Structure 1
Amino acid sequence: MTLFQSAIWNPRGQKAPVIPHTSIQIFREVPEFRTWRRRQLLDHRSVGLVPTMGALHEGHLSLIRMAAAENHRVVVSIYVNPTQFGVHEDLGSYPKTWKKDCEMLRDLDKEIAGDGGNLGTVAAVFAPTTEVMYPSGRPSQDVDGKGSFVTITPVGEVLEGASRPTFFRGVATVCMKLFNIVTPEKVYFGQKDIQQTVVVKKLVKDFCMNTDVVIGKTQREPDGLALSSRNVFLGTRRRKVATTLSKTLRVAETAYSRGRRSRDEILGPATELAKLLLMEQHQMPPEDRVKFEVDYVSLADPDTMEELEEVDESRGAILSGAVKMLPVESPQAGEDLGLSGGPPVRLIDNIILKPVG
């Protein structure tokens, strides 16, 4: 058993283990974590929470840096939440990279400690099991499934919620659980999952929760692709075409910056570009092309995610979209298809159209 594997175990009654070569404690059980949290409260130490499903990347690290600048103690949760996966979505294929995640947190801890401008540092990882998070048993992933759920509507029913009808129910439920367990002064989410941030803000507001929701900018690859844990599934061929969505949204953003305000004026050029890029792929031979499906391109209200026919300059809007990258055709010998053999990959992205004046 390696040091990183031994760091997983947290028997009741024993001191919480730590990530090797750090002081970052690892908690698997709620009572032990709450004992730790109580000490922070008595010591007047603020706590910031960065919720993740693991498979950490620079987007997560940027949120942890934000949290360390604003809080005495940062808690990173690592938990692949089953209730936000649909019945036909492959929960089992979601990347689980515990050892690498620990190494990244170790290195980030050193970086943050060496920066004198931070208020705090990474103090704890909360990595529960599903039995801990769902003590009555994991609820059904069916749309009409039974269980203890939190549902945020109507914002959770449009766009991503329309394509994945149980997704935001699962997100809101696990966030409610995490917020109740950690009781953070602030929680940190990335702008890439923009609809999720709107749902979480509504959850916090409507349930009178005493935490601030802080949104960090989307982190991108040099070519514009938004960082995501799911990018590891793309492989070489699809990775080259994965910028289709970001290119499409930037065209719409340009129209807005040039004074266009109607839905047709903003989204029209964007949808035409998406059609052109798909047509180019279809003209290639099967061993070279990449097929994809555009789920939606949206121009929505920044608070409700309802579709807009005209942008109110005083409020701005949210441009967002989703594309499904389909498995490659005619894979070549030795071709990098991505993790798990390159299953379908759903990519999301967004751009905030800022108010004018």
Structure 2
Amino acid sequence: MYPSGISQNTEEQKGTFVEVKGYGNQMEGRSRPTFFRGVATVVTKLFNVIEPTRAYFGQKDIQQALLLRRMTRDLLLSHPVPQNLIIVPTTRDPVTSLALSSRNAYLTAHERESVAPALYAALQAARVAWEENASKSECIRRAETVIEKKKREVNGSVDLRLDYIEMNDPDSFEVVSDAVSRRQWEGDVAGRPLVLSGAMWVNKTRLIDNIILGAAHTLGIVE
């Protein structure tokens, strides 16, 4: 994609780049402010070279997948058309439910089996609270409690740090109000989807995960 190489410093870069403006500064974009500019650019180049009928992206990187679908729509791409950018559910470890990722290779066996799964457990705690019609702030509090409990368990043997757990509108990526509950969010649209996501550091490895609250299939996520 870049046969002559490219500087990682965006201020030094020259040439044409693609930016999905206004949609990449929430969720992962808060921690990685220029990441989606690079993703959008290299994927546009890849689509132009390959002209795929369909493209598949993983739910684990849900913001990336939804941004790329928006990009194909905004730029009127024909290969693939937006509805053929398909989001595939996250594959998980059958025992721990840890989202499978190349980053997991940087974890020790103990970290993979006993520490890293705390992120998904935290998201599940928030999901249960949401289904009980708790406020968003209460859902996040319950999720953070799971991480705090795990931190006490490891007792400093692992540097466990929560980056964020948040709920975002899947269309605008705007943060949902702290006071909103499931019934308020769904309103007259039963199953209206919402993205519950989080990121966590396990020593030097940063892990991400997410759960779709509501009707995931309306976001084009297929089994």
Q: So what's the TM-score if we normalise by structure 1?
A: 0.53
Rounded Cα–Cα distance in structure 1 between residues aligned with 2:56 and 2:193: 23
Match of 1:205 in 2: 73
Offset from partner CA, 1:14-39 (integer Å, 9 cap, x none): xxxxxxxxxxxxxxxxxxxxxxxxxx
The alignment status of 1:297 with 2:147, answered yes or no, reads: no
Match of 2:9 in 1: 142
Contact 2:196 2:212 in 1 (8 A): yes
Rounded Cα–Cα distance in structure 2 between residues aligned with 1:225 and 1:145: 38
Match of 2:99 in 1: 226
| Residue correspondences, number | 200
What RMSD in Å do the two structures reach over aligned CA positions?
Answer: 1.7
1:1-357 aligned at under 5 Å gives the runs 133-135=1-3, 137-147=4-14, 148-210=16-78, 211=80, 212-222=84-94, 223-239=96-112, 240-260=114-134, 262-282=135-155, 289-309=157-177, 310=180, 311=182, 312-313=185-186, 314=189, 315-326=192-203, 344-355=204-215
For residue 153 of structure 1, report the CA deviation from its aligned partner. 2.2
Offset from partner CA, 1:172-216 (integer Å, 9 cap, x none): 111101100111111001111111111111111111111121011
Rounded Cα–Cα distance in structure 2 between residues aligned with 1:308 and 1:241: 28
Rounded Cα–Cα distance in structure 2 between residues aligned with 1:173 and 1:305: 20
Rounded Cα–Cα distance in structure 2 between residues aligned with 1:304 and 1:281: 37
For residue 355 of structure 1, report the CA deviation from its aligned partner. 4.7
Point out where structure 1 has 5 or more consecutive residues left out of the alignment. 1-132, 327-343
2:68 partner SS = helix
Rounded Cα–Cα distance in structure 1 between residues aligned with 2:103 and 2:175: 27
Point out where structure 2 has 5 or more consecutive residues left out of the alignment. 217-223
Q: Which portions of structure 1, spanning 4 or more consecutive aligned residues, are displaced by more than 3 angstroms?
A: none
Rounded Cα–Cα distance in structure 2 between residues aligned with 1:275 and 1:185: 45
Rounded Cα–Cα distance in structure 1 between residues aligned with 2:90 and 2:215: 19
Structure 2 counterpart of 1:345, which letter? T
Rounded Cα–Cα distance in structure 1 between residues aligned with 2:111 and 2:10: 31
For residue 166 of structure 1, report the CA deviation from its aligned partner. 2.2
Structure 2 counterpart of 1:256, which letter? W
